[in-house]
Amino acid sequence: MPGMCGVDLSDNYLHFYGIARTRVKEYYTKMFLHFLSVTTLNVFQIYKKNGGKLKRLNFLPELGEKIVEKYGKPLQIKKRSRTPMPTRLTERHFPSIIPPTTKAKPTKRCVVCADRKM
């Protein structure tokens, strides 16, 4: 077949402006990012067929801004509670050295936590 078919063209577009990263280890994250890339490519194609003038490089940030404008929620800042912090976060913790038995290095354990048997 001469020329590039639709799949080849979409692969070419996704290669240059793809969202997916190669260092992501979880397969579901890779799949989500790939589907997001394909979706943005499809939206761009619809935009171009309806007479859009932007290039894809300029279209992607515009698309992101429009999505945030429409569906983004303002951040709600949570106020700190007036209850005191737990004692495990405010007491001074010092590791105590336990003499080694068969290990080469001594084990360290927190004095405060060891008293409470945590």
Position of tokens 């005191």?
Answer: 84
Long-range contacts of 40-43 (CB under 8 A, 24+ apart): 41/10, 41/13, 41/14
Question: Cα torsion for 11, 14, 19, 20, to the nearest 10°?
Answer: 20
Q: What are the distances in angstroms from CA 47 to CA 54, 66, 89, 97?
A: 9, 14, 55, 67
Q: What is the pLDDT of residue 23?
A: 78
Q: pLDDT per position in the chain (118 positions), as tens?
A: 456 666 777 787 787 776 766 678 888 888 888 898 889 999 999 999 999 999 988 998 999 899 988 888 777 766 666 655 555 555 565 555 565 667 666 566 665 666 555 4
Domain boundaries, the chain: 6-71, 87-116
Q: What is the pLDDT of residue 76?
A: 73
pTM, 2 dp:
0.54
Token representation of residue 77: 């800042």
